[in-house]
Amino acid sequence: MPVSFSLSQEYRRTLRRAGKTACQAVAGPVLAKPPQAPAQPPRAAPRQGAAAGGRPHAGPSSAVHAAPGARRAGFEPHRRRHFVFVLLEQFSQLSFAAAIEPLRIANRMSGLELYRWTLVSQTGAPVVCSNGTRIAVDGPLGEIGHDDVVMLCAGLDVRGNTSVPILNWLRRIARRGAVVGGLCTGAHSLAMAGLLDNRRATIHWENRDSFTEDFPDIALTKTVFVIDGNRLTAAGGTASLDLMLTLINDDHGKDLANVVADQMIYAAIRTESDIQRLSIPTRIGVRHPRLSEVIARMEGQIEEPASPAELASAVGMSTRQLARLFRRYLNRSPKRYYMELRLARARNLLMQTDMSVIEVALACGFTSPSHFSKCYRAQYGTTPYRERGTQGIEDETGAEPGFDAGDDDEDDT
């Protein structure tokens, strides 16, 4: 039976009956302010915005049970929740808006203040997001309420923008059992603070390589969002939307979550098991099972590249058949395509990590730094050292991308 995207009259009447009196009666403190704490961020009045999607699912997620005030035996339309959004410099405005707008729409469609939110930065100063927009906040980091949900919003240069005071604050609220989430690259900050130890998490696919290099023991998934106890992570972009709609669904049921989705014209709502990236056939524009399998194997074997013969054998083809397949659909040889994947991975690591150029080269299957430098310059027009702004090996000859010494000399173009 298709799910209705209208808020039922019975649901509306239930919400109305609860009323604002009940809402005030049960609501706990939103920001616990000790008597003499002038640095405490002010309470934020509910702001109005727009964005989101929703989905029905059976039962509340673990995040609902993680917050003490979220434990409920049945439907409580009067319950409200407070979110504290911590904005780091160069945060992603898209992932932030996709998280805050569902709350505003839920309030509007229910006619009640079901959600409140406060924006904070380290010092209380305005924050500039990655698109250059300057965002005012309500105050600095401070104490949070017992049932508050903290969302760390990050984006570019997450390492440089995650300060020691931010890390110490995150550790302090985590010790008190707070529900803490990270949006876009926020998972990196949570991992730096030790909040993702023995947890599952996700991060934007572009930052996956640097994350796994820095935190190899954290179980990183490729899904759009992850809820693991009182830790929430969303991969950025519209993934924040899916996470927030799951929480709205948990708090107030599928009717409200679905009407929020309808308001946002958001139909393709994803679950916690959906992956971030488009499938390989969609990305390359070709639906060929063997070609897709070979590319998947290439993407999974960057540090120790497989030979063309090994790749061909794995899919039941000869190396000549594999070469013809790549030429036909991708206009390049298997070696060249593989090299481009390895160099793209290397560029991500150079731009997002503190790994040395030699370490990056080894992580991407190059045994010779000079050969890596030549291949990198042929692909991107600069050496990895110049990309980093550091001094290092400068090759004079230049070279077309190819495999390391010892590989066969098949044409690489």
Q: What pLDDT does 30 receive?
A: 33
Quick check: is 352 in a domain? yes
**393 CB burial (10 A radius; 0-12, 13-18, 19+):** middle
Which H or E element spans position 31?
Answer: none
CB 258 within 8 A of CB 5: yes
Nearest to 376 by CA among 345, 406, 407: 345
Kindly report the backbone phi and psi dihedral angles of residue 140, in degrees, each rounded to the nearest multiple of 5, phi listed first.
-85, 180
Quick check: is 84 in a domain? yes
CATH of the domain at 344: 1.10.10.60
In 88-160, DSSP assigns E strands to 115-121, 127-128, 134-135, 139-140, 149-153
Quick check: is 155 in a domain? yes
Residues 294 and 233 both lie in one domain = no
Q: What pLDDT does 273 receive?
A: 73
Residues 303 and 246 both lie in one domain = no
CA distance 192 to 182: 12
Quick check: is 237 in a domain? yes
As beta bridge partners, residue 85 has: 119, 151
**Structure token digits, residue 324:** 């013809």
Which H or E element spans position 225?
Answer: strand 225-228
Q: What pLDDT does 11 receive?
A: 52
CA distance 173 to 168: 9
Among 228, 263, 298, where does a domain finish?
A: 263
Three-state SS at 68? helix
CA distance 227 to 202: 10
**367 CB burial (10 A radius; 0-12, 13-18, 19+):** exposed
Quick check: is 274 in a domain? no
Among 231, 263, 295, where does a domain finish?
A: 263
Residues 23 and 164 both lie in one domain = yes
The count of domains in the chain is 2
Quick check: is 403 in a domain? no
Nearest to 275 by CA among 246, 302, 235: 235
Residues 98 and 221 both lie in one domain = yes
Residues 73 and 202 both lie in one domain = yes
As beta bridge partners, residue 206 has: none
Identity of the residue numbered 381: G
Residues 319 and 367 both lie in one domain = yes
CA distance 186 to 162: 9
**Structure token digits, residue 97:** 């808006």
Domain span at 249 = 9-263
CA distance 398 to 202: 38
Residues 247 and 150 both lie in one domain = yes
Please state the pTM of the whole predicted model.
Answer: 0.66
- Output the CA–CA distances (angstroms, integers) from residue 368 to 299, 374, 390, in the order listed: 21, 10, 18
Identity of the residue numbered 61: S
Which bin fits 111, alpha (ψ -120 to 50), beta or left (φ > 0)?
left
Residues 150 and 298 both lie in one domain = no
> What angle, 0 to 180 degrees and rounded to 10, lies between the N-to-C axes of helices 254-263 and 239-252?
140
Name the strands in the sheet holding 115-121, side by side, starting at the edge strand that comes first in the sequence: 139-140, 115-121, 81-87, 149-153, 179-183, 231-234, 225-228
CB 255 within 8 A of CB 11: yes
Q: Which residues contact 211 (CB under 8 A, 6 or more apart)?
A: 187, 188, 191, 203, 218, 220
Residues 258 and 376 both lie in one domain = no
Residues 286 and 235 both lie in one domain = no
**162 CB burial (10 A radius; 0-12, 13-18, 19+):** buried
Residues 15 and 164 both lie in one domain = yes
Q: What pLDDT does 343 receive?
A: 93
Residues 76 and 170 both lie in one domain = yes
CA distance 277 to 62: 25
Among 219, 235, 263, where does a domain finish?
A: 263
Quick check: is 410 in a domain? no
CATH of the domain at 44: 3.40.50.880
CA distance 56 to 14: 19
Provide the residue-wise pLDDT of the chain in tens; the chain has 413 residues.
433 334 555 555 555 554 443 333 333 333 333 334 444 444 444 344 333 333 333 344 444 444 433 333 333 555 689 999 999 999 999 999 999 999 999 999 999 999 999 999 999 999 999 999 999 999 999 999 888 999 999 999 999 999 999 999 999 999 999 999 999 999 999 999 999 999 999 999 888 888 988 999 999 998 999 999 999 999 989 999 999 999 999 999 889 999 999 999 888 778 787 877 666 777 777 788 899 899 989 988 999 999 999 999 999 999 999 999 999 988 989 999 999 999 988 988 888 787 889 989 999 999 888 899 999 999 999 989 888 765 444 443 333 333 343 343 334 44
Quick check: is 3 in a domain? no
